[in-house]
């Protein structure tokens, strides 16, 4: 087994381009991953990588070995996946990330229920509105709202979730209720931004079809809940999934803006590396979250 484990490390290091990333993907420290590579090189009596301070790349021999090793590792993972359903109890850790609003209001309340069903499974939930790299960060599942990134990750759609524009009544009393999408240009729009994000725009549903509106404002943040707080404090208009602000709408802290031309619905789904679905606990978690989120959102 140590040899097989070393093969797995070698394959992931080649695919991810660094010992740190390859080790993290397999839940190993950089030191352990590095030792596995060194053990493999001693066993084979060859140098598998060209190492510089900035780059790690396979040697010609290493590339040849990788072409065969990845087939061995894939065959082993396929064999494990074929019998995973026979395992009596899923166990281990599921690493999950989700946007703040989705995580707090949809995903986090479901996790105790999932752990009660599978007590040998632990769930580590990371909440952030920033973009994450599943492979680099060693994550199993990423829930998202919006346009899915162009990647080699597998995607499961949960549903299209309605979005709305809303603001505090006191803000609208002071600045006026927008009557048309073009009126948004004269309002303070609260924007979800993160480093290197593009100039922002909102896409609204109109009778002529989707209409892109360039918007701007005095406030932006990489935390969606901060934007909601600013909106409730009469600082501007926000564009949010309806489920994320439904309690504020019910209480009257926020009211809908331009209901005849709402923002385009946003896809709500999850991303995961292909091989993660071969892991019984990850597959069970994905199916559980997808089903329960659909139930909750259909009632919103």
Q: Read off the pLDDT of residues 29-59 as tens digits, 9 standing for 90 and up.
A: 889 999 999 999 999 999 999 887 667 889 9
Q: pLDDT of 59-86, one tens digit each?
A: 999 999 998 998 888 788 767 666 655 5
Instruction: Render the chain in DSSP notation, one character per residue.
Output: -HHHHHHHHHHHHHHHSSHHHHHHHTT--HHHHHHHHHHHHHHHTS--EEE-SS-EEE-HHHHHHHHHHHHHHHHHHHHHHHHGGG-SS--EEEEEEE-HHHIIIIIGGGHHHHHHHSTTEEEEEEE-SS---HHHHT-SEEEEESSPPSSSSEEEEEEEE-EEEEE-HHHHHHH----SGGGGGGS-B-EE--TTPPSPEEEEEETTEEEEEE---S-EES-HHHHHHHHHTTS-BEEEEHHHHHHHHHHTSSEEE-TTSPBPPEEEEEEE-GGGGGSHHHHHHHHHHHHHHHHHHHT-
pLDDT value at 188 more than 90: yes
Torsion sign over Cα 39, 43, 45, 46: negative
CA-based R_g, the chain, Å: 24
Task: Identify the structural domains of the chain with CATH numbers, from first to last.
Answer: 2-86 (1.10.10.10), 92-159+267-298 (3.40.190.10), 163-264 (3.40.190.290)
Q: Strand pairing partners for 97?
A: 126, 142
Which of 184, 110, 144, 183 lies closest to 267, judged by CA?
A: 144
Q: What is the mean pLDDT of residues 183-199?
A: 79
Tokens of 297: 């959102």
Instruction: Looking at mean pLDDT, say which of 27-41, 44-58, 141-155, 262-276 comes out highest.
Output: 27-41
Its pTM surpasses 0.85: no
Which has more pLDDT, 188 or 131?
Answer: 188
Structure confidence at residue 25 (pLDDT): 75
Give the H or E element holding residue 279: none
CA atoms within 13 A on the CB side of 118: 21
pLDDT value at 196 more than 80: no
Confidence of residue 157 (pLDDT cuts 50, 70, 90): confident
Structure confidence at residue 22 (pLDDT): 81
Structure confidence at residue 204 (pLDDT): 94
Structure confidence at residue 116 (pLDDT): 95
Which of 243, 241, 237, 245 lies closest to 216, judged by CA?
A: 237
């Amino acid at each position: 087994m140590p040899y097989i484990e070393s093969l797995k490390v070698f394959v992931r290091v080649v695919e991810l381009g660094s010992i740190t990333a390859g080790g993290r993907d397999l839940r190993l420290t950089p030191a352990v991953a590095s030792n596995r590579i060194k053990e493999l090189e001693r066993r084979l009596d060859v140098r598998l990588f060209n190492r510089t301070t900035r780059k790690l790349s396979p040697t010609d021999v290493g590339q040849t070995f990788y072409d065969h090793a990845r087939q061995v590792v894939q065959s082993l993972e396929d064999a494990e996946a074929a019998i995973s359903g026979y395992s009596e109890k899923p166990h281990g850790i599921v690493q999950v990330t989700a946007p703040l609003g989705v995580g707090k209001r949809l995903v986090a309340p479901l996790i105790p229920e999932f752990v009660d069903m599978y007590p040998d499974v632990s769930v580590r939930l990371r909440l952030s509105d920033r973009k994450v790299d599943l492979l680099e960060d060693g994550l199993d599942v990423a829930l998202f709202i919006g346009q899915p990134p162009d990647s080699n990750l597998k995607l499961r759609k949960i549903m299209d979730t309605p979005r709305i524009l809303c603001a505090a009544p006191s803000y609208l009393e002071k600045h006026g209720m927008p009557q048309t999408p073009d009126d948004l240009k004269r309002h303070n729009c609260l924007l979800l931004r993160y480093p290197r994000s593009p100039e922002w725009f909102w896409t609204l549903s109109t009778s002529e079809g989707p209409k892109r509106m360039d918007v701007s404002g005095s406030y932006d943040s990489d935390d969606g809940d901060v934007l909601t707080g600013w909106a409730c404090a009469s600082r501007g208009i926000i564009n949010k999934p309806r489920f994320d602000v439904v309690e504020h709408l019910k209480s009257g802290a926020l009211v809908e803006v331009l209901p005849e031309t709402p923002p385009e619905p946003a896809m709500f789904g999850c991303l995961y590396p292909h091989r993660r679905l071969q892991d019984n606990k990850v597959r069970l978690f994905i199916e559980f979250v997808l089903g329960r989120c659909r139930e909750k959102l259909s009632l919103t």
